[in-house]
Chains A and B, each alone.
Chain A
Amino acid sequence: MTLHPILAALRKHKAGVVLISLQIALTLAIVCNAVFIIGQRVERVNRPTGLDENDLFLVSQQWVGAPSSDDPAGVEKLDVMQKEDLAALRNLPDVASVTPSNSVPLLNSSWTGSVSIKPGQQLGDKSGTRTAYYFTDEQVLATLGLHLVAGRAFTAADVQHQGARDQRDRPVIIVTQALADKLFPQGSAVGKVIYSDGSSSPSTIIGVVARLQIPSTGSWGNDFAWYSTLVPTRLDSSYARYVVRAKPGRRDAAMHAVPAALYAVNPMRVLDDDESVKSFADIRASAYRADVGMAILMGVVCLILLCVTAAGIVGLTSFWVGQRHRQIGVRRALGARKIDILHYFQIENLLIAGVGVVLGVLLAVGLNMWLMTHYEMTRIPLLYVATGVLAMLAIGQAAVFVPARRASNVPPVEATRAA
């Protein structure tokens, strides 16, 4: 079959053809970018924190009328209170291990600083490497479920304590593999010395863990998302957080037992029902709620758009089929087979959709570039655009099939009937 009769027929419906190609172009542009956004969000939500997240939960609590952490005597009292809490939690039947920590990944409450292989670097200097600190104790690896890939874990002898706003030397630390590779590109980091927050006293790296995300999920933390530093120090203030690993499958029971156990130690404290004892699954859900929500929203928009475009193609093609009943009858009477009529409409759609997707690719790239300049967006990979093009052509063919088949069923006798 030659294209000539199809083109000639299309020329008679110029406006309709332009409108449907425009619609396909718009659909392709929006769907490509929306699916790209979905892909980015799904990738973000699925990145592992490095923790073994099952059976893990966090206790955040605050003592009322606690001693001030600004004077040394107060710090000592607070540390005793914290150790009592830790002992009470570790004694619970459903608890496997407990560690104090100022934060956990995805909590969006962080203490960040910068580490350098040279002493005395100012924080403002861009030469240091940004990191987030986890102030914790010797049970941290077991509780969080981190994998030590080199060196050794903290021992009880490594653990110090300090007031939450004090500055103390950090003689030993554990860093993530990512941070170790950044600071010491050649060779092992274990045993090497670094300086944190412009300090001139050294910190020795005694161990390296495979992976540990920083607490922040905000875009400001993207540059150092995997650069975490573990410090074996309990922070003492009127506020304390405990990370608890329950025995397998016993998380809910352990969470339930926590308030009573802590109130038994000291009733003068704030333990909110909802906020104070939170499973890691809940922390994850609230950290990524915006991303999941955006992905769902984009998904719904794509679905509506594709349905509207497909329905539009069906509607318009049905109309054209109705309009050309007589011509189809004439063609059939002159010897065209059913399959020829079917192919006619299929090729016609392919031509229209082809013009649409060419325009759509330009629009998609343009929209992506506009989003890149105005919002945090990266360049759309060609794979997304190519998949979008194929999908649009396929949807066009699928949508045109029903009316085209109806056209192919027009009997040759139509030719003899009046319009």
Chain B
Amino acid sequence: MFAYYLELALRSLKRSPGLTALMVLTIAFGVAASMTTYSVFRAVSGDPIPWKSAKLFVPQIDNWGPNGRGSDGEPPNAMDYNDAITLMRDHRAKLQSAMYQISPSIVPADASKHPINVSGHAVYSEFFPMLDVPFLYGSGWSADDDTQRAAVVVISSKLNQKLFGGSNSVGKTVNVEGKDYRVVGVLNDWNPQPRFFDVVNSGGFSTGVEDVFLPFQRAITVGIPNDGNTNCNAVPTESGFVGLQHSACVWIAYMAELDDAAAATAYKQYLDGYAHDLQQSGHFGWAPNNRLRDLPAWLDNQHVVPSDTKVSLLVALGLLLACLVNTAGLLLAKFLRRSSEIGVRRALGAPRMAIYAQFLTEAGIIGLAGGVLGLLLTGVGVVSVGWVLPKDIAALARVDFSLLTLTLLVAVIATTLAGLYPTFRASRVQPAWQLKSN
């Protein structure tokens, strides 16, 4: 029966090629616009570490008090040096790391080459197992290296390619800021987007790759300065990078792994206890106002998904809706014009369900054709947004199998839905009335 409806539908569509083309184009453009904006939205709203994001938490400590809070009562979104070091020393989570953004220079061994600048983070050893960072060669450094302030470094595969031609460089030395560091690990391709471990400084997304990771205390000792944001509620009383460490300025990101709800509750209690002690000792003139958000909540709180992306998606969905209304109108006119044909079929004993099957097949075919054309337009659209949107975001949007499948599905289902009311009207055609009028 389906083959018969297919034939009927194709014949009907061929009868008015202009109208058919109009409906197919409408669906194609509507679907392509929404799928293109969806591909961008999907790219920026994805979970960067889905298997673990619910276990990763970002603590915030209110070290500025009521005057430093935003209008929403939120504490600062980074930590000062003292709080970060205390949390690291107390070591209450399973795994944790304080970190800050660095941008040191690397001097190539080959004297004929100019020094280069790389970006990275100063982190603790637990950073690597906590974030399941993949290694190509070697591994992260040990907790001993942290306390010893060892001159060790983890480099990206990209930097390894540049400096060592991609060979296993573990044990070799790299000159960072004029001092030699021993390579302990080379990362496999690792470029999570958003840059979830430090969204405050990366602004969420980043075109570059993290090239170096140094032990936190080592970087502090040799004075590799913070390259990320520094926010102060008061001018530091001492000068220089050391002065910054003694100030209440916030510039350090922090992440902790807490495996279950009980651990998270215990950690929150610990944070509040810490702030309470500081209140008791007179350092804080206010009650504890801390936060402990898991990673998805933190990304949401920091507005990692740009509002432009959300508004674009919304507007494009509106466009799709308008296209569907348009298609519904055209299908209605087309179907009702065939009232006499319907009347004959019904009079010859076709049940209402048969009319439904026939006309929904026709709508489905239009949807399928619109979807196929929409696939091409979506491809064009995704390539085009690469030219107009900011590079860090545009680079993430790509066409893949699931996007293609979704495009087709949305086109077919949406068009069939648009065809429902016209089909309902067609199935209500009174056979006797139609036959009489002819």
Interface residues of A (CB under 8 A from B): 15-16, 19-20, 22-23, 26-27, 29-30, 33-34, 37, 62, 64-65, 68-71, 122-125, 163, 165-167, 197-199, 237, 263, 267-272, 289-290, 292-294, 296-298, 300-301, 304-305, 307-309, 311-312, 315-316, 318-320, 322-323, 367, 371, 375-376
A165 with B241: CB separation less than 8 A: yes
If A16-B332, A70-B223 are given as contacts, then 20 extra A-B residue pairs at C-beta distance below 8 Å, sorted by A number, are A16-B333, A19-B325, A19-B332, A30-B318, A64-B105, A64-B177, A122-B234, A123-B234, A166-B239, A167-B235, A270-B115, A271-B114, A289-B388, A301-B319, A304-B30, A307-B29, A308-B26, A309-B322, A315-B22, A371-B311
Residues of chain B contacted by A34 (CB below 8 angstroms): 315
Select the residue from B68, B323, B337 with max chain A CB neighbours within 10 A: B323
Among residues of A, the one whose C-beta sits closest to the C-beta of B311 is A375
In the assembly, what is the distance between CA of A322 and CA of B236, in Å? Answer: 81
Interface size on B, residues (CB 8 A): 64
The reply to whether B105 and A293 form a contact with Cβ atoms under 8 Å apart is no
CB distance from A159 to the nearest CB of B (A): 20
Q: How far is the CA of A298 from the CA of B390 in the complex (A)?
A: 15
Q: Interface SS of chain A: helix, strand, loop or mixed?
A: helix
Name the one of A62, A293, A308 contacting B323, with C-beta atoms under 8 angstroms.
A308
A294: chain B residues within 8 A (beta carbon): 308, 311-312
Cα distance A305–B325 when bound, in Å?
12
Number of residue pairs across A and B with beta carbons under 8 Å? 176
Interchain CA distance A289-B394 in the complex, whole Å = 11
Which of A19, A64, A165, A199 touches B329 (beta carbons < 8 Å)? A19
Q: Identify B306's interface contact among A26, A70, A163, A290, CB under 8 A.
A: A290
B239/A312 in contact, CB under 8 A: no
Q: What separation, in Å, do the CA atoms of A64 and B240 have in the docked complex?
A: 18
**Hey, which chain A residues are within 8 Å of B316, CB to CB?**
301
A122 touching B67 in the complex, CB below 8 Å, given contacts A23-B325, A23-B329: yes
Given A270-B105, A270-B116, answer yes or no on A123-B390 (Cβ-Cβ < 8 Å): no
**Cα–Cα distance between A304 and B321 once the two chains are bound (Å):** 13
Separation of A16 and B178 alpha carbons in the complex (Å): 76
Query: Please, which residue of chain A has its CB at the minimum distance from the CB of B226?
Result: A165
**When A166-B240, A167-B239, A294-B308 are in contact, do A316 and B330 touch as well, CB less than 8 Å?**
yes
Asked whether B131 is an interface residue with its Cβ less than 8 Å from the other chain, the reply is no
Tell me how far the C-beta of A408 lies from the nearest C-beta in chain B, rounded to whole angstroms.
20
Q: Which of chain B's residues have a CB closer than 8 A to the CB of A29? A: 318
Give the chain B neighbours of A293 by CB distance below 8 A.
308, 385, 388-390, 394
CA A16 – CA B328 in complex, angstroms? 9
Which residues in B have their C-beta under 8 angstroms from that of A124?
64, 67-68, 233-234
Interface 0/1 of B307-341, CB less than 8 Å to A: 11011100110110111011011101110010000
Q: In whole Å, how far is A332's beta carbon from the nearest beta carbon of chain B?
A: 22
Tell me the smallest distance from the CB of A79 to a CB of chain B, in Å. Answer: 15
Find out whether the CB atom of A298 lies under 8 angstroms from the CB atom of B318: no
- Nearest-CB residue, chain A, relative to B326: A312
B307 interface neighbour in A71, A296, A322, A376, Cβ under 8 Å? A376
- Residues of B208-243 whose CB lies within 8 A of A: 223, 225, 232-236, 239-243
A57 → B minimal CB distance (Å): 19
Instruction: A290 to B312: give the CA distance in the assembly, Å.
Output: 12
Q: Which residues of A contact B25 (CB under 8 A)?
A: 311
A19 lies within 8 A of B328 (CB): yes
Check A304/B105 contact, CB under 8 A, given A167-B239, A315-B22.
no
The reply to whether A272 and B337 form a contact with Cβ atoms under 8 Å apart is no
Residue of B nearest to A61 (CB): B117
B307 touches A375 (CB 8 A): yes
Task: Establish whether residues B325 and A22, one from each chain, have CB atoms under 8 Å apart when the complex forms.
Answer: yes
- Contact B29–A304 (Cβ < 8 Å): yes
**In the complex, which of the residues B223, B326, B334, B390 contacts A309, with contact meaning CB atoms closer than 8 Å?**
B326
Most buried by B among A33, A263, A319: A319
Q: List 16 A-B contacts (CB under 8 A).
A: A15-B332, A26-B318, A27-B322, A30-B318, A37-B311, A62-B105, A64-B107, A163-B240, A270-B114, A270-B117, A272-B116, A289-B390, A301-B33, A367-B318, A375-B310, A376-B307
Q: Is B37 an interface residue (CB 8 A)?
A: yes
CA A290 to CA B308, docked complex, whole Å: 8
Is B114 touching A305 in the complex (CB atoms < 8 A)?
no
CB-CB under 8 A from B326, the residues of chain A are: 19, 23, 308-309, 311-312
Q: Contact between A123 and B233 (Cβ–Cβ < 8 Å)? A: yes
CA A23 to CA B25, docked complex, whole Å: 16
A168 (CB) vs chain B CBs: closest residue:
B239
